[in-house]
Amino acid sequence: NAGVTQTPKFQVLKTGQSMTLQCAQDMNHNSMYWYRQDPGMGLRLIYYSASEGTTDKGEVPNGYNVSRLNKREFSLRLESAAPSQTSVYFCASSEFGGNSPLHFGNGTRLTVT
């Protein structure tokens, strides 16, 4: 099993460009999450999807959009990238929301110049 797969691993964008981070899980999990990790800030929740067909804002949703394409896939879109969005982005999934362990992908390191 691959677990949680994120693409791409690295990306450099110019300010104002757009991109979509892809995430897929093969564990038949119901819930999926996007976190960003910045030095000294821990992991901050951007958006989550408790189940297929639903999405909710987390702690830092501004500047991002998400799509729960199906049960397996949860994408994160930056419509107009800003330097403040330079970060490491982690996708995670869990079987039953916050009562189950989160399984993380390997992360996407994004730099916005």
CB of 96 vs other proteins, minimal distance in Å: 12
Q: Do the Cβ atoms of 102 and 36 come closer than 8 Å?
A: no
Helix (H, G, I), strand (E, B) or coil at 21: strand
Residue 93 and residue 88: Cα distance in Å, rounded?
A: 17
Q: Which of residues 23-42 bind other proteins (CB under 8 A)?
A: 33, 35, 40-42
**Which lies closer to other proteins via its Cβ, residue 48 or residue 64?**
48
State the binding string over 60-99 for other proteins (x if CB under 8 A, else -): ------------------------------x------xxx
Token output for 91: 């996708």
